[in-house]
Amino acid sequence: MNRIAPVKKYLLLLLGAAYLLAGCRPPKKKDHLVIGVSYQNLQNEFIINIQDAIRLQAKKMNVELIELDAQGKAENQISEVENFIAFGVDAIILNPCDKEGSAPAVDIAVREKTPIVVLNAMVTNLQKAQAFVGSEDAEAGRIAANYMVSLLKGKGSIAVIHGLNGHSAEVQRSAGINEVLIKYPEVKIVVEQTANWDRAQALALMENWLSSSKQIDAVIAQNDEMALGACKAIEAAGKQQKMPVIGIDAIRDALKAVDQGKMAATIFQDARGQGSLALEIAQKIIAGEPVAHINYIPFKLVTRENVKQYIENE
């Protein structure tokens, strides 16, 4: 599903690139703000939810968006930020693909004195950006691990499906999981590997684990896409009642899976709150208003007991 902005937006970027080659910038529009948004990957449902929130907030604020999908490649984000600056946007919202790889995009914006707000995932040079909006990913890891420890009654073997190696959410969620499990010596991680945030990769990975001789009592997936892939493999093996799975993000399919008892739980990450707040903060920065540098929105555990309220709010 491709959610890249309309063709006219690409024409704007091409125009901006032409100005860059000519050594000058186009004049900024005076009647409304123009903000460039670089998304890490619009094949991911959670990122699509962030995009929807940004678009809705932009309509309310009379802000024009120039949106691009980096398709999971940090080098694409660097080029996208250069093009945003060439066009003369008033600010940039960067949803990083990679903690280190996307950092040069922030350096470029700072060098060119274009305000930049980092959204959802972190970069190594976050202190250079005007603001960060997201959630504390280590918290999600702690919530997931504590919930699995309670289900296993303090004893068992866990498989962990990691997100993209080096991504700030993967690093922090892993740290949160380990922070909890070190307190429970009888709960051990017996196998762990990345599935790159992808449902199909997690399905294949879980199938391989199930065909091995390893004892797996529960699965922690670092996002819902991967949790859903794992659930499909577990269900096909007839083990859905014996092997609880928890994910992170509370996307629509995961909420349904929790409601149906196919997933033990998910962890709500507020995509709407993150997207709308990022745009609001960008507008305040442009207006010269003070903003907090770090803006965290809390995670919340979603189980079968409270999932209805999240489904109703979809």
- pLDDT tens digits for 37-90? 999 999 988 999 999 999 999 999 999 999 999 999 999 999 999 999 999 999
How crowded is residue 290: how many other Cβ atoms within 10 Å of its Cβ? 6
Residues 6+ apart with CB under 8 A from 166: 98, 99, 100, 101
DSSP state, residue 4: P
Residue 196, domain member (yes or no): yes
Residue 18, domain member (yes or no): yes
CA atoms within 13 A on the CB side of 312: 4
Domain end marker among 268, 287, 308: 268
- Going through the chain in order, the beta strands assigned E by DSSP cover 33-39, 63-69, 91-94, 116-119, 131-134, 156-162, 187-194, 218-221, 245-246, 266-268, 294-296, 300-302
Give the separation between CA 139 and CA 137, rounded to whole angstroms. 5
Same domain flag for 282 and 204:
no
Residue 302, domain member (yes or no): no
Number of domains in the chain: 2
Does the pLDDT value for residue 17 go beyond 80? Answer: no
Contact (CB, 8 A) for 267 and 248: yes
Same domain flag for 117 and 63:
yes
Same domain flag for 170 and 103:
no
Does the pLDDT value for residue 16 go beyond 80? Answer: no
Compute the mean pLDDT over every residue in the chain, rounded to the nearest whole number.
Answer: 91
Domain of residue 34, residue span:
7-134+270-297
Same domain flag for 259 and 275:
no
Q: What is the pLDDT of residues 203-231, one digit of tens each?
A: 999 999 999 988 999 999 999 999 999 99
Does the pLDDT value for residue 2 go beyond 80? Answer: no
Residues 6+ apart with CB under 8 A from 213: none
What pLDDT score was predicted for residue 7? 39
Same domain flag for 104 and 155:
no
* Percent of the chain surpassing pLDDT 90: 85
Give the separation between CA 215 and CA 48, rounded to whole angstroms. 36
Residue 239: φ, ψ to 5°: -115, 15
The CATH number of whichever domain residue 201 belongs to comes to: 3.40.50.2300
What pLDDT score was predicted for residue 176? 98
What pLDDT score was predicted for residue 30? 54
Same domain flag for 86 and 144:
no
Tell me the angle at which helices 224-236 and 45-61 cross, rounded to the nearest 10 degrees. 150
Mean pLDDT of 171-196: 97
Residue 92, domain member (yes or no): yes
Residues 6+ apart with CB under 8 A from 202: 161, 195, 221, 225, 226, 227, 228, 229, 230, 233
What pLDDT score was predicted for residue 241? 86
Q: Alpha-carbon Rg of the chain, whole angstroms?
A: 21
How much is the pTM?
A: 0.79
What pLDDT score was predicted for residue 45? 87
What pLDDT score was predicted for residue 8? 41
Same domain flag for 151 and 162:
yes
Q: What is the pLDDT of residues 245-262, one digit of tens each?
A: 999 999 999 999 999 999
Mean pLDDT of 83-109: 96
What pLDDT score was predicted for residue 1? 41
Give the separation between CA 296 and CA 292, rounded to whole angstroms. 10
Same domain flag for 281 and 240:
no
Tell me the angle at which helices 45-61 and 271-286 cross, rounded to the nearest 10 degrees. 40
Same domain flag for 175 and 114:
no
What pLDDT score was predicted for residue 253? 96
Does the pLDDT value for residue 175 go beyond 90? Answer: yes
Give the separation between CA 56 and CA 53, rounded to whole angstroms. 5
Burial of 166 (C-beta count, 10 Å sphere; 0-12/13-18/19+): middle
